[in-house]
Chain A
């Protein structure tokens, strides 16, 4: 498992996701690729950040911000 998948997993296992967003463990994606295709905005947003920071081509802060906020603003 790639490090970015490990990092993603450690974020997604946070209990806030279960308490606040009622996400069940079995619904959680195990890879970045899966997470990027999730229909849960919070999961996809986290995946975007992990990919942006630990992916194959890291992005700058403004790019990261645009990617995440644009996605969230549109998705919500």
Chain B
């Protein structure tokens, strides 16, 4: 089935008539946000499955504004399709009548169908029936995708089974396994009824039936346990794998935090050791006296000189004193130690008279001038005369030369300073050493701070890389260990349940064989033969159905991975793996991304989107192969998480696929920063497509006034 044309009239931003003449291959509709892409998607969706309510919300405001009160117009979405050489037109529309400004009433919608055969003959048919025939509801469900989230239709465990059943051959075999079971059950019943006619085995038969029923129930019970244990194991394994990606981070974080703490403590210790209390040292440690020695030298010299002078003076003083004592002694010796005459005897005048006469009138001898007696008399006179002058000034004979001995104190001070010089000389070294010590510590701290910065950057990197917060990261290690323990327990449970099931199965088999034995002996042989054949037929039907299902899954897996690898060319992808699981009453298919046989949890959005798209394309391709018919797929913004390059690759890839595809994307458009003019980028030229459109709002428009909004459709 190919959509040849979509026409939208007066539907929201699509004012008047807008036509998209589509190609049967890849159709790309470009459009900036808010310029009509999604409204196109919604219009088609409304045509397919829209409800008959709030239709006034779908009316073009611009058209309504231009319409006179009391007049009406039609809101319409129409689709022309081609299938098996026949053309069909399906139109969904309603009438909008303007009641007053900005308000309208609407009729109910109608769906019209027109079938046109190869010779151009047109027939009016039921629109809804026509739609459901050419584009069945179940297929429509898997044909329209709005946004990336919509692509993940496999979240519910039955979705993929439904999809596979819908498109795979396996669906044809469903009824066979059902009918096979039905026929076998009826044949079993016929045999049982026949056996029961034989009364001798009645009690044993009843007992066996009861036991078989019991074992059947037990088996179902343990199957449920086993299933849920297996599910838990998968969940724990998932948690563990998720945690593993964090465990190394958590481990590294713990080590880093430890190292950061150690560095911080070391910095704090070293900072504490830095002694920069220089003011105290200046006084308490005598640093202020660092240059004292030169002053001391000058002081000591002065003190020394002073001391010498003093001693000289003292010595002179003592000598003088000694001379005087000596003179006294000599005089005494001269007089034969007789007591001399007192000074002034003879008197001054007598002495002068005798000197003048040059005669000693005391001893009556001549005393010529210059003779010894003359000199003696002269000296005697002099002594008298001197004694008359000195008498007042002569110091006290007992008075010392220096009353106080300050010099000695100065000496002591100087000596004491001299002794201290030894310590003072060390001050300079001490200062130097302290400054060097502090500098060394500061250097160490600087280095540690650099190291701390590096460690913190590393920690930030780890936290940045981690998708969980720091406090949660530290919980990871704890949970990781708990989950490992859980896993061990669950694995043991799985082994236990499996063993138990095997035992029940074996018991059940034994009971059934016992029952069959009674049947063989009691029931009609033809009934038994019929039952046995129908048992085999049922097994064949079930096997074949599963085989077909598995074949489809295998093909789906291969095709999905081919698409997946092509979309993500040159990038890591992992492998898409489909797994069929038989639950108690149903089968489910799970899909997951694996890396080296292990589930790849938390792939990025782009990888996830490409995985979902790959599966959808694969299903669509398989459906085409099996049903010999293609159905279109419509995607609104399916590749938001892709970059423009990847989108190009993706578009080039889907160009190669067979189905008709309509893609609405906002890539490849450029807005000029100055003029705000929109244009299509050159890169779009290299994108392979069958048809391209550009939906853009007619300029100028007022973003706050819907009456000015009109999406134009430009065929590129």
State the A residues within 8 Å of B (CB).
Answer: 3, 7, 10-11, 14, 16-17, 20, 41-42, 45-46, 49-50, 53-54, 61, 64-65, 68-69, 72-74, 76
Check A69–B544 contact: CB distance below 8 A: no
Q: Is the CB–CB distance between B175 and A53 below 8 Å?
A: yes
Contact B548 A69 (CB under 8 A): no
Q: Does B653 contact A (CB under 8 A)?
A: no
The answer to whether A20 touches B536, judged by C-beta atoms less than 8 angstroms apart, is: yes
Q: How far is the CB of B522 from chain A (nearest CB, A)?
A: 17
Whether B536 and A69, one on each chain, are in contact in the complex, defined by CB atoms closer than 8 angstroms, is: no
Contact count band on B: 20 to 34
Q: List 13 interface pairs A-B (beta carbons < 8 Å), by A numbering.
A: A10-B544, A10-B547, A11-B176, A11-B540, A16-B536, A45-B533, A45-B537, A53-B179, A54-B172, A68-B183, A72-B530, A73-B530, A74-B526
Q: Say yes or no: B544 contacts A49, CB within 8 Å.
A: no
- The answer on a CB contact under 8 Å between B537 and A69 is no
**Contact, CB under 8 Å: B172 / A42:** no
By a CB distance below 8 angstroms, the chain B residues around A74 are 526
B183 close to A46 (CB less than 8 A)? no
Interface string of B491-530 (1 = CB under 8 A from A): 0000000000000000000000000000000000111011
Residues of A near B187 (CB, < 8 A) are: 69
B residues with CB within 8 A of A? 172-173, 175-176, 179-180, 182-183, 186-187, 190, 525-527, 529-530, 533-534, 536-537, 539-541, 543-544, 547-548
- What is the number of contacts between chain A and chain B, taking CB atoms within 8 Å? 69
CA distance A7 to B536 in the complex (A): 17
**Are B536 and A42 in touch, CB under 8 angstroms?**
yes
| Residue from A17, A54, A61 in contact with B540 in the complex, judged by beta carbons closer than 8 Å | A17
Chain A residues within 8 Å of B180, by CB: 49
Contact A69/B190 with A20-B536, A42-B533, A61-B182 known, Cβ cut-off 8 Å: yes
Question: Of the candidates A11, A50, A72, which one forms a contact with B533 in the assembled complex, judged by CB atoms under 8 Å apart?
Answer: A72
Q: How far is the CB of B181 from chain A (nearest CB, A)?
A: 11
- B544: min CB distance to chain A, Å: 5
Give, as a whole number of angstroms, the nearest-CB distance from A44 to chain B: 10
In the complex, what's the smallest C-beta–C-beta distance from B545 to chain A, in angstroms?
10
Q: Which residues of A are found within 8 Å of B172, using beta-carbon distances? A: 3, 7, 54
Task: Return chain A residues, CB-CB under 8 Å to B529.
Answer: 72, 76
The distance in angstroms between the C-alpha atoms of A65 and B527, with both chains bound, is 13
Question: Could you say which residues of chain A place their CB within 8 Å of the CB of B530?
Answer: 69, 72-73, 76
Tell me, in angstroms, the Cα distance from A20 to B186 when the chains sit together.
Answer: 22
Determine if A16 and B182 form an interchain contact, defined as CB atoms under 8 angstroms apart. no
